[in-house]
Amino acid sequence: MSGRLEHANLTVGDLDAAIDFLLTALPDFRVRGAGVGPEGLRWVHVGSDLSYIALNEAAAHASDERPGHWRGVNHLGFEVDDAQAVRRRLLAKGYREGFVPESHPHRQRIYFLDGDDNEWEFVEYASDRPEERNDYSLG
């Protein structure tokens, strides 16, 4: 069996804004579970039956400082059917674009920042052939 991303776990400053960002970008996702942890902080799982993003509410005293661009989660990537539709939905809600990659004949990638400045990648493949999808010589 190949490995696959089952879930990723993030702590966010504004839980409701993070939920809105994910449900806007990926309308097939849903809130599949939610609760309050032992420290009284809310958590939610947003995703599908097979994978999800675990979002945890940050404590009020948590530092917003980041140790550097190279540490921690860089971004999470989702394969989507229509990258431009994702772009339109996110721009319409006021989200900002992040990194702008070079064009590639077999995939289109877009990056957006959520309300906590976490970067998210959405990739649309134009090929089912692994050697084309995974061609890194073109950017």
The full set of domain ranges for the chain reads 7-59+75-133
Top-confidence residue, 66 or 29 = 29
Residue 22 burial by Cβ neighbours in a 10 Å radius (0-12, 13-18, 19+): buried
Of 76, 77, 86, 96, the C-alpha closest to 26 is 86
Looking at the chain, the whole-number percentage of residues with pLDDT higher than 90 is 58
65-120 pLDDT, tens digit each: 543 333 457 788 899 999 999 999 999 999 999 988 889 999 999 999 999 888 89
Token duo for residue 71: 């540490």
CA 15, 21, 26, 28 dihedral sign is positive
Asked whether the whole model's pTM tops 0.85, one would answer no
Does 3.10.180.10 match the CATH number of domain 7-59+75-133?
yes
**Distance (Å, rounded) from C-alpha 26 to C-alpha 85?**
10
pLDDT tier for residue 137 given thresholds of 50, 70 and 90: confident
